[in-house]
Amino acid sequence: MADLMVTEIYKSIQGESSWAGIPCTFIRLTGCPLRCRWCDTVYGFKGGKKMTQEGILDEVERLGVNLVELTGGEPLAQAEAKPLMDALVEKGYKVLIETSGSESLEGVSDKVHIIMDIKCPGSGMSDKNLWSNLALLKATDEIKFVIANKEDFEWAAAIVQQKNLSSLCHLLFSPAWGLVKPSDLVAWLLESKIDARLNLQLHKYIWSPRAKGV
């Protein structure tokens, strides 16, 4: 089995999604084919260290937290991410994956909780959305829109309506840090009547927005 390139493995609280505030071990895999304008993890694009699946599992066990998330970068850009998730599930962990939506979800276990971005135009990557992934989501999964401006919100609202996303799975709307005020996004959500969760990045409020390993 091939090694994985890993930027960091650490435990903290989950900062986003419906799991926000819960202790979580993060496995941040190295590399991402996208270059979103507002990306806050550019340090994960390159570098990292090679780790075997066994080595990763040992480190997760050492950290001792049952909730585990694969993130990046883009974790699904590494083929061995899916066998790693399967191994974590087999060991009894609750497994989450945060993915950009540009890589296929085919082969991701139904026991893995998917948090998938749909990239808005403000990211500069909206042409990379792999729309066929929508058919692979479960009702318990989550779709996240990161909103950089009002135009992004209006685009996202149109996508929600066109693709009937409210009936597909849970929806998250996140203000891009430093670009949109949370209060403005709340106002837009209330006006639109979209059934979605405001998704703040708690770790950026607790620690520095640029802090790593939190």
Q: For the chain, which domains are there?
A: 4-206 (3.20.20.70)
Contact status, residue 84 vs residue 4, Cβ threshold 8 Å: yes
pLDDT in tens, 53-91: 999 999 999 999 999 999 998 999 999 999 999 999 999
Bridge partners (DSSP) listed for residue 147: 175
Confidence of residue 22 (pLDDT cuts 50, 70, 90): very high
pLDDT in tens, 132-157: 999 999 999 999 999 999 999 999 99
Amino acid code (one letter) for 107: G
pLDDT of residue 15: 87
Confidence of residue 119 (pLDDT cuts 50, 70, 90): very high
Task: Tell me how far apart the alpha carbons of residues 91 and 69 are, in angstroms, rounded to a whole number.
Answer: 14
Q: What angle do CA 155, 123, 192 make, to 5 degrees?
A: 25
| Of 73 and 202, the one with more pLDDT | 73
pLDDT at 181 over 80: yes
Q: What is the DSSP letter of 41?
A: -
